Amino acid sequence: MSPKRWSVVAGSLVIAAVGGWLLRPTPAPTPVAPPAERSVRPQAVAALGQLEPAGDIRNLAAPNAGMAGTPRVASLQVNEGDAIKRGQVLAAFDHRDGLLADLERVDAELRSLDQEIRLQAIEVERFTQAADWGAAELSLVDNKREELVRLQGQRDQALAERKGFMADLELSQLISPIDGVVLKLHAREGERPGVEGVMDVGANQAMQASIEVYESDIARISPDQSVRLTSENGGFRGELVGRVLRISPQVEQRSVLSTDPTGDADARVVVVDVVLNPEDAAKVSRLAGLKVIARFDP
């Protein structure tokens, strides 16, 4: 075979081989399974708060002693955390002794006026009879009656003064308006109470927690959500269980600060009220104001 013919045959073979490779059946692509979705477990929301009575809370103020202003606290009969009863004396003020002295003075004045009025009434009757018999002038009778009216007027004034002293005397002691517990003392013996009053008292029939949730977490809180509470400083053992009762509609500045000095005191929070289970509320009925750590179950 000549070289030229051999080149033609070889070229034909190469073309046939290349065409056969290009025309080979393409294998179906192997399906690739999509990556499995990773389940993300929601995290519990944690926040700080404090225990407080679920019932009535009263701020008890000092009376106004007229020109002297607010009197000083002379004696305190209770301490923070003490259980109190309605009508119980909680404190006394330093103007009480002066009021007792004024009351004693006006009582003595009333006794004296009562005696003078009795004697003057006898005089009026005696001179009236004498005038009827012609033994006394009618002008004398009129004078005696005018004196009697004057004495009776003095007595009425003394009674009104006594009534005022009695009203002030009632205010010279701080009386509990409710059955409950002393939450906080704002003034001590010898101090003059300021705008905060003397003390805060609250009804302790039930206890709840006021929790300050960061505004960035509030979307993960819902009514009736389960909550577990622990004491930040060991005020009680174990956990308290409750549920979300109310979510405040207002964002405000944080007021319950952590013991961590680096805590964000300027954080914006939403107050969430948590009602405790009855058995847990009974355990902490005397711990109003205790700081707690709340964990809202997802």
The 3-state DSSP class for residue 8 equals helix
- The residue written with tokens 């600060």 in the block is 257
Residue 82 CA neighbour count, 13 Å, CB half: 14
Q: What is the pLDDT of residue 141?
A: 78
Q: What is the pLDDT of residue 38?
A: 62
Burial class (CB in 10 A: 0-12, 13-18, 19+), 1: exposed
Give the tokens for residue 52. Answer: 């407080």
Residue type, 46: A
Give the tokens for residue 37. Answer: 């979705």
Query: 199 pairs with which residues across the strands?
Result: 60, 185
Distance CA 182, CA 200 (A): 6
Q: What is the pLDDT of residue 156?
A: 96
Closest C-alpha among 181, 127, 115 to residue 151: 115
Per-residue pLDDT of the chain (298 residues; tens, 9 = 90+): 555 555 555 556 556 555 555 555 555 566 666 665 665 566 789 999 998 877 778 899 988 866 667 899 999 999 988 889 999 999 999 999 999 999 999 999 999 999 999 999 998 888 888 877 876 677 887 888 999 999 999 999 999 999 999 999 998 999 999 888 888 899 999 999 998 999 999 876 677 899 999 999 999 999 999 999 999 888 888 999 999 999 999 998 887 765 555 556 568 899 999 999 888 888 887 787 889 999 999 8
Residue 4 CA neighbour count, 13 Å, CB half: 0
Q: What is the pLDDT of residue 1?
A: 54
